[in-house]
Amino acid sequence: MNDVVHPAGSTGTIHAAGVSIKDLRKAYGSNEVLKGISLDVAPGEVVCLIGPSGSGKSTLLRCVNLLEQPNQGSIHVGGFEATDPDVDIDKMRRKVGMVFQQFNLFPHLDAKKNCSIAQTKVLKRSQAEADKVSMHNLERVGLGHLADRFPDQLSGGQQQRVAIARALSMNPELMLFDEPTSALDPETVGDVLSVMRNLAKEGMTMLVVTHEMGFAREVADRVVFMDGGVVVEEGAAEQVISAPTQPRTKEFLRRVLDPTHIEIEE
Amino acid sequence: MAMTARQRARVSLYVQAGIFVVAIAALILATDWETIGNSVFNFAKIGPMFPGIFVTGLVNTLIYTFLGFIVGLSGGLLLALMKLSSFPLYRWIATGYIEFFRGIPALLVFIAFGYGVPLAFGVSWNVTVIVMISLGMVASAYIAETLRAGLQAVPKGQMEAARSLGMPQWRAMVTIVIPQAFKIVLPPLTNEIILLTKDSSLIYVLGLTASQYELTKFGRDGISSLGAGLTPLLVAGAFYLVITIPLSLLARKFESRSARTKR
């Protein structure tokens, strides 16, 4: 596993923002994906969203930075009301880092340029300053030595860590992770999770859709179990994963977890 | 005697090659070589075409093609973006334009801009402007469809990643999506230049001064002045190949390069 360099100096200081979601609804035609979700995330808190596929957890995450437009309800993110029709979406998104399942690195740019392009074009930083911040964040995810590689010259795990560095280079106050390890070879999952673990320790607000129960239990402050477009159960990570109270949560965890490692109380 | 499938395939190939050879031989025998020698392969009399066909004809063909391509590329990009717009009016305009200009002969466009438009608006354009507009407008329609396909081939996640970094729609298009789309359409775009090179020959319908002659006009002029029959056109054709074959090879190189990368 690569060493993750802890940030020093101003570029690494995290200003964590909170999220407040109230009665959020989203439908595609007659297919209701989110049926009134309310969720608060405190600044610096790490919340993992778990649940079966199709439960709406990715849609919820994508609503927070408006990659999906909710039909109803409100979302407040670090001083912005995302659901206000007059909100400056681009300004809001600068504060919200997003990491995708498929990485979505820009294939025509090397790792450093992937990190610096939005800094220069959006934040209007000088190229020199942007490069400095990019290198700092690439080192932070243990990839400073691969800064001039193009995405197709990197492994999946390395690409995902570049994607995290790219998001961090905008100095976000909140990070969204949409199944960040689901597309990875098993042996590279650990490096990505370790980067995320360090980020959580540094006090970043994180909203993570994941199937990694071990990670959720260890790193998350809270776990939210969703099914069928509603929050079925939420609480402290240890409680939800080790001692779920709702039958649907129990059923889901029984399927996901290896029963020889964790006992679920009936 | 029964043959194996492989033997049958081989015999069939020999038969096909045999038919081909016989057809060529028949064609050679049927040809009136004396007449052809005077009217098509009469290279003794074409001396006066040089160096004009090279320094004026070839150069002008390249200039006209280049200008047409620049207009076509800009217009094509604009039309492609309009066609992908969420605003219906833009889509209709783009679709109408593309269908119209792809559906009519390029020759008519040259006549329209060479004679019709100047008459209608009482303007007089010089030949370079007419070629630039006519060729550019036809090229726009073809290039628009190529670019639209390229833009759509860029994964949706690229736009999402760019937007989630705070880039406005236009910025994400310019910085992230369009550069990738161009890389994808490099081979078909090179083929568009080949088509454009040949379409530039349609300029012959306009009245040209000697210094504006391009390859085809040079060839046609040679027919009437040199007494070498159609030979000057043959020479002009050879010069087109000098331009188009390298472009063709370039397109193939782009193709194999993009086939090699995984994305």
Quick one: angle between helices B127-153 and B59-83, nearest 10? 40
Contact criterion met (CB < 8 Å) for B166 and A166: no
3-state helix, strand, coil in chain B (%, to 5): 85, 0, 15
pTM: predicted TM-score of the whole model, two decimal places: 0.84
pLDDT at residue number A252: 92
Q: Does B96 touch chain A (CB under 8 A)?
A: no
What is the pairing mode between strands A72-77 and A19-28? antiparallel
B137: closest CA among B118, B116, B109, B115? B109
Interchain pair B155, A90: CB under 8 A: no
Is B99 an 8 Å CB contact of chain A?
no
CA distance A67 to B162: 11
Domains (ranges, CATH) in chain A? 19-203+230-257 (3.40.50.300)
The pLDDT of residue A11 = 44
Q: Check B180 against A107: CB less than 8 A apart.
A: yes
Given strand A19-28, what is the order of strands in its sheet? A31-41, A19-28, A72-77, A80-81
Angle between helix B59-83 and B178-199 (nearest 10): 140
Interface pTM (ipTM) of the complex? 0.90
Cα nearest neighbour of B162 on chain A:
A118
Average pLDDT over residues B128-140: 93
- Report how far residue B123's alpha carbon sits from residue B164's, in angstroms, rounded to the nearest whole number: 50
Q: What is the pLDDT of residue A15?
A: 86
| Cα nearest neighbour of A90 on chain B | B166
**Nearest CA-CA distance, residue A168 and chain B, Å:** 10
Q: Interior CA angle at B93 toward B89 and B97, to 5°?
A: 170
Axis-axis angle for helices A156-168, A186-201 (nearest 10): 20
Q: Give the gap in angstroms from C-alpha A97 to the nearest C-alpha of chain B.
A: 7
The residue among A37, A69, A19, A75 whose CA lies nearest residue A224 is A37
A182 at interface of B, judged by CB pairs closer than 8 A: no
State which amino acid sits at residue A211: H
Q: How far, rounded to the nearest angstrom, does the alpha carbon of residue A252 sit from its chain's CA centroid?
A: 22
Mean pLDDT of B227-247: 90
Q: Which of residues 23-62 of B touch A (CB under 8 A)?
A: none
* Identity at A16, one-letter amino acid code: A
Confidence of residue B1 (pLDDT cuts 50, 70, 90): low
At B12-30, the pLDDT tens digits run: 999 999 999 999 999 999 9
Mean pLDDT of A246-258: 88
The answer to whether B178 touches B152, Cβ cutoff 8 Å, is no
Interface test with A, best of B86, B154, B164 (most A CBs within 10 A): B164
Overall average pLDDT of the A52-73 stretch: 94
Nearest chain A residue to B176, by CA? A106
Pairing of strands A72-77, A80-81: antiparallel
In sequence order, the β-bridge partners of residue A77 are: A19, A80
- Chain B closest CA to A38's CA: distance in Å? 23
Sheet containing A174-178: order of strands: A96-99, A174-178, A205-209, A46-50, A222-227, A230-236
Residue B260 has pLDDT above 80, yes or no: no
- How far A181 CA lies from chain B's nearest CA (Å)? 16
Average pLDDT over residues A124-150: 97
* Contact between chains at A121 and B175 (C-beta distance less than 8 A): yes
> Which helix (H) or strand (E) covers residue B247, if one does?
helix B231-260
Nearest C-alpha of chain A: how many angstroms from B259?
Answer: 14
Which of B161, B166, B179 faces A122 most closely, judged by CB atoms? B166
* Across A14-32, average pLDDT: 93
Size of interface A-B (CB pairs under 8 A): 65
Q: Which of B86, B160, B163, B165 to mutate to test the interface with A (most CBs of A within 10 A)?
A: B165
Q: Residue A262: pLDDT band by 50, 70, 90 thresholds?
A: low
Query: Could you say which of A117, A152, A167 has the minimum Cβ distance to residue B262?
Result: A152
B15 near A CB under 8 A: no
Token pair in block for residue A109: 């740019």
Of A104, A108, A122, the CB nearest to B161: A104
Q: Which residue of A has its CA nearest to B158?
A: A104
Tell me the percentage of chain A whose pLDDT exceeds 90. Answer: 87
CA nearest to B157 within chain A: A104
Q: For residue A63, count CB atoms less than 10 angstroms from its CB and return exposed for 0-12, middle for 13-18, buried for 19 or more.
A: buried
Looking at chain A, the whole-number percentage of residues with pLDDT higher than 70 is 92
A94 in contact with B at a CB cutoff of 8 Å?
A: yes
How many angstroms away from the CA of A90 is the closest CA of chain B?
4
**Chain-centre distance for alpha carbon B219:** 19
- pLDDT tens for A161-220 read 999 999 999 999 999 999 999 999 999 999 999 999 999 999 999 999 999 999 999 999
d(CA A91, CA A69): 16
Is the distance from CB of B186 to CB of B156 less than 8 angstroms?
no
SS3 per-residue string spanning chain A: CCCCCCCCCHHHCCCCCCEEEEEEEEEECCEEEEEEEEEEECCCCEEEEECCCCCCHHHHHHHHCCCCCCCEEEEEECCEECCCCCCCHHHHHHCEEEECCCCCCCCCCCHHHHHHHHHHHCCCCCHHHHHHHHHHHHHHCCCHHHCCCCHHHCCHHHHHHHHHHHHHCCCCCEEEEECCCCCCCHHHHHHHHHHHHHHHHCCCEEEEECCCHHHHHHHCCEEEEEECCEEEEEEEHHHHHHCCCCHHHHHHHHHHCCCCCCCCCC
Q: Choose, out of A95, A121, A123, A153, the residue to mutate when testing the contact with B (most B CBs < 10 Å).
A: A121
- A44, A204 contact by CB (below 8 A): yes
> Which residues on adjacent β-strands are paired with residue A19?
A41, A77
Is residue A8 scored above 60 in pLDDT?
Answer: no
Altogether, the residues listed in chain B come to a count of 263
CA distances from B16 to B20, B21, B28, B35, B89 (A): 6, 9, 19, 31, 55
